[in-house]
């Protein structure tokens, strides 16, 4: 990352903290540079920036978010932020102009992008919702966990972001928000995809009640 990219990243982190007041809570979990998959609810275009900013610097440097190509690659500014500031892994979502082959390629490309070093930020709903209610999880989180046996999966609940930047709006409304990191879980050896995705979703819902 160049000095310009680092400076812009710092300005974005300051701006998002001023706009959202986002405070991080680590519940039965401590920050660590070890490789993890952070999976979170998705209700705002601010989600990547807020979650990325909430990580301590030594963790953030080793963490890459998954970014939807149909949104982040549609302008030079978004592409620059995704690739140069967030170091994101761009994927084509199958329900946004992609195919099943694109979905399989997204898993392969994501695993190649994190290797054995980087952690990952992923939003298992696949697309942002219109409000606070969380949608069902797509299968990507399961396939990533299956291909990385034993990796820690950290549930993350982000509160109030859909009100700070509602769907269809471009300017944030200053409101308080919080980010809760929960107890890591792992995919069980005999756990089925539906069982795992239900358990993972429930881990985020439980954080919303803390």
Could you read off the pLDDT of 137-152 as tens digits, one per residue? 999 999 999 999 999 9
* Torsion angles phi and psi, residue 163, rounded to 5: -85, -30
pLDDT, one tens digit per residue, over 113-137 is 999 999 999 999 877 655 567 888 9
Give the pLDDT of residue 171: 47
Alpha-carbon torsion 49, 51, 54, 56, what sign? negative
Residues 40 and 161: their CA atoms lie apart, in Å, by 12
Domain boundaries, the chain: 3-207
- Is the confidence at residue 110, as pLDDT, over 70? yes
Give the pLDDT of residue 11: 84
Name the CATH architecture for the domain at 3-207.
Answer: 3-Layer(aba) Sandwich (3.40)
């Amino acid at each position: 990352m160049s000095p310009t990219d680092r400076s812009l990243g710092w300005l974005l982190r300051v701006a998002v903290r001023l706009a959202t007041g986002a405070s991080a809570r680590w519940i039965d979990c401590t920050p660590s540079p070890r490789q993890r998959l952070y999976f979170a609810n998705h209700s705002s275009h601010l989600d990547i920036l807020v979650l990325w900013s909430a990580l301590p610097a030594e963790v953030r440097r080793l963490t890459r978010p998954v970014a939807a190509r149909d949104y982040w690659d549609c302008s030079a500014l978004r592409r620059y932020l995704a690739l140069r500031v967030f170091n994101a892994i761009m994927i084509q979502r199958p329900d946004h102009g992609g195919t099943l082959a694109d979905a399989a390629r997204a898993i392969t490309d994501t695993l190649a992008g994190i290797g054995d070093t980087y952690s990952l930020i992923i939003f298992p709903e696949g697309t942002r919702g219109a409000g606070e209610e969380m949608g069902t999880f797509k299968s990507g989180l399961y396939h990533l966990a299956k291909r990385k046996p034993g990796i820690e999966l950290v549930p993350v609940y982000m509160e109030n972001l859909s009100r700070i930047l509602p769907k269809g709006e471009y300017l944030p409304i200053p409101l308080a928000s919080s980010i809760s990191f929960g107890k890591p879980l792992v995919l069980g050896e005999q756990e089925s995809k539906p069982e795992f995705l239900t358990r993972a979703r429930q881990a985020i819902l439980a954080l919303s009640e803390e």
